[in-house]
């Protein structure tokens, strides 16, 4: 009898030990998820996640839960997850189908996984967040796979908090790899420094900092690592917010004042891999106010994009108020003239400061690909922009009370008349303070900026002050030998209004034409062109004096001519 009792006690001891193991953060990770199983590729039409034990300990999953923003599941059943092993978690109705691919367990109230823009987390019986994934459908980097039937897989499970850079669509022919090592599995260590993206205040003494990846909680929770300008100083409390741990909640010792901009600096923060946050990076914060009429204006619009490109609308904060993009909406009008397709610019707090630009588009990456963007962070990406026709249409900005802040009824006929094809050319506002619905306050973006200036001041911007038209060339002597010194000439221009067209021709000292540098080039208010010292057929020209003859004109019949002289020399 005693011989039978001893093995039973031994089994109980091992079972209790497995159950009593307390997991630390990232000991178990969500390493694969099926958020959109339809249309099916090969796997069953079920949503599920896969867990992988990345530690050297064994865990009993009894009492563990998964959840998302809307809530969490019931507890997991008694299941032993051994080191470097996998288990599929799904609904009870999906267990039979998923068990064909590997061990599967069910939970009640399995969270519905959104196709994009969701957060899924894993919580231990000790109420500790062990891992969380904040994903979007852009992680697939493949439109076909993002449409459904394919899983998202973690690349390196030893790098659990990098987010986007450590996930990709499955390459397995079935559409995923439930119950086994991911098809994407590879070494992918985190060597990227985390970035402080922005800040916002929910009241006068509560400020949230937003980072692009999870942080080391101990360092992020240390108040001396934060400083707020204008006498606010060090906060009295800092809490890293679950489940993703990429935000810090600061409680201030003194209240923020309305219509005042504060600067927040951070120090000694790292991500979970130990990479430091740039200590020189600061962000602005302040108390947001409701946007009223003409506080924010439509500043630029690309309504007829090139093939494989997208529309964008640039807005400008011309007020002294700090606005919140969460409380701003973009819309159009339907055929009956009613305001339609109302779209919120941000689902979360996102401050928009005075004299800042912000570009609204459905795909920021495409706009950055097609245009120079001097501020790549000045984007409000929405799931889809309201429809803006190629010939004419209506752009409307609304506040959260439904009041029209600004409205533009545009027409393709507003483009510069000498532009043969306006496809891919943005319309720019000339003056922030002039009426929006005024045709002569809009002009095609200049050739020299690539026909668009998303995120920065318009090429056709013109305030009330007059500018003297001028052409200057620097330096006076160039030596195009690619040694990094005076290798090219820069032709700088400035004109009193937009719409000037330039022809620039270069002659040698004998009056012979050597280069047509620009032909019918649309100029902005200010800009420049370059000459590399080569002739019309890219041939090397002899040293000597060269004359730049520039002729500019506009559709009002105004003309102006300039002559500039430079010397071409060579050092070798």
Tokens read off for 297: 């204006």
Please report which confidence band the pLDDT of residue 10 belongs to, taking 50, 70 and 90 as the band edges: very low
CATH architecture, domain defined by 470-568: Sandwich (2.60)
CATH of 296-449, one of 2.60.40.10, 3.40.50.10090, 3.90.550.10, 2.60.40.1260: 2.60.40.1260
Q: Please report the pLDDT score of residue 569 as a whole number.
A: 92
Rounded mean pLDDT, 497-505: 89
Rounded mean pLDDT, 494-514: 89
Instruction: Give 150: exposed, middle or buried? Use CB within 10 Å, 0-12, 13-18, 19+.
Output: buried
Q: Please report the pLDDT score of residue 37 as a whole number.
A: 97
pLDDT exceeds 90 at position 461: no
Rounded mean pLDDT, 522-551: 91
Domain extents in the chain: 10-169, 196-285, 296-449, 470-568
Please report which confidence band the pLDDT of residue 318 belongs to, taking 50, 70 and 90 as the band edges: very high
Q: What pTM was computed for the model? A: 0.77
| pLDDT one-digit tens code per residue, 412-435 | 999 988 888 999 999 999 989 889
Q: Which helix (H) or strand (E) is 523 found in, with range? A: none
Domain boundaries 196-285, CATH class:
mainly beta
Q: Please report the pLDDT score of residue 346 as a whole number.
A: 96
* Torsion sign (Cα): 8, 10, 13, 15: negative
Tokens read off for 139: 């992680």
Q: Please report the pLDDT score of residue 392 as a whole number.
A: 95
Domain boundaries 10-169, CATH class:
mainly beta
Q: Is the model more confident about 553 or about 115?
A: 115
Please report which confidence band the pLDDT of residue 13 belongs to, taking 50, 70 and 90 as the band edges: very low
| pLDDT one-digit tens code per residue, 258-317 | 989 999 999 999 998 999 998 888 999 999 999 999 999 999 999 999 999 999 999 999
Strand partners, 12: none
Can 10-169 and 470-568 be said to share one CATH topology?
yes
Residue with tokens 């003239």: 337
């Amino acid at each position: 009898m005693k011989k039978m009792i001893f093995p039973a006690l031994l089994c109980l001891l091992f079972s209790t030990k497995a159950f009593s193991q307390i997991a630390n953060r990232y000991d178990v990770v969500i390493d694969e998820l099926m958020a959109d199983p339809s249309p099916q590729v090969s796997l069953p039409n079920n949503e599920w996640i896969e867990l992988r034990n990345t530690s050297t300990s064994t865990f009993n999953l009894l009492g563990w839960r998964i959840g998302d923003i809307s809530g969490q599941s019931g507890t997991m059943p008694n299941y032993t997850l051994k080191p470097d092993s996998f288990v599929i978690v799904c609904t009870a109705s999906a267990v039979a189908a998923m068990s064909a691919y590997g061990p599967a367990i069910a939970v009640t109230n399995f969270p519905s996984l959104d196709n994009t823009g969701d957060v899924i987390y894993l919580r231990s019986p000790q109420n500790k967040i062990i891992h969380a994934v904040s994903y979007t459908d852009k992680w697939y980097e493949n439109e076909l796979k993002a449409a459904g039937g394919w899983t998202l897989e973690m690349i390196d499970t030893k790098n659990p908090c990098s987010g986007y850079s450590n996930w990709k669509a499955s390459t397995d022919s079935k559409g995923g790899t439930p119950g086994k090592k991911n098809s994407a599995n590879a070494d992918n260590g985190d060597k990227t420094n985390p970035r402080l993206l922005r800040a916002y205040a929910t009241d006068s003494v509560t400020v949230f900092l937003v980072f692009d990846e999870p942080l080391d909680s101990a360092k992020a929770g240390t108040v001396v690592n934060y400083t707020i300008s204008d006498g606010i100083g060090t906060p009295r409390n800092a809490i890293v917010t679950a489940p993703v741990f990429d935000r810090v909640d600061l409680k201030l010792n003194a209240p923020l004042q309305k219509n005042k901009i504060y600067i927040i600096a951070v120090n000694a923060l790292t991500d979970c891999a130990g990479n430091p946050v740039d200590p020189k990076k600061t962000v602005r914060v302040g108390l947001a106010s409701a946007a009223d009429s003409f506080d924010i204006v439509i500043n630029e619009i690309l309504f007829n994009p090139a093939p494989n490109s997208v529309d964008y609308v640039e807005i400008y904060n011309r007020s002294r108020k700090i606005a919140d993009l969460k409380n701003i909406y973009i819309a159009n009008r339907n055929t009956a003239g009613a305001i339609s397709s109302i779209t919120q610019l941000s689902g979360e707090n996102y401050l928009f400061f005075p004299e800042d630009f912000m570009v609204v588009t459905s795909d920021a990456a495409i706009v950055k690909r097609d245009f120079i963007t001097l501020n790549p962070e000045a984007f409000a990406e929405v799931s889809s922009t309201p429809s803006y026709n190629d010939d004419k249409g209506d752009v409307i900005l609304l506040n959260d009370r439904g009041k029209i802040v600004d409205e533009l009824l545009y027409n393709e006929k507003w483009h510069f008349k000498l532009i043969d094809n306006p496809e891919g050319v943005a319309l720019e506002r000339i003056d922030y303070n002039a009426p929006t619905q005024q045709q002569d306050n809009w002009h095609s973006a200049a050739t020299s900026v690539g026909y668009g200036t998303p995120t920065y001041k318009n090429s056709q911007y013109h305030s009330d002050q007059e500018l003297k038209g001028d052409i200057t060339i620097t330096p006076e002597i160039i030596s195009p030998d690619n040694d990094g010194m005076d290798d090219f000439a820069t032709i700088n221009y400035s004109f009193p209004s937009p719409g000037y067209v330039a022809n620039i021709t270069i002659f040698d000292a004998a009056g012979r034409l050597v280069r047509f540098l620009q032909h019918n080039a649309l100029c902005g208010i200010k800009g420049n062109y370059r000459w590399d010292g080569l002739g019309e057929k890219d041939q090397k020209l002899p040293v000597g004096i060269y004359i730049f003859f520039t002729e500019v004109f506009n559709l009002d019949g105004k003309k102006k001519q300039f002559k500039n002289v430079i010397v071409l020399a060579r050092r070798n």
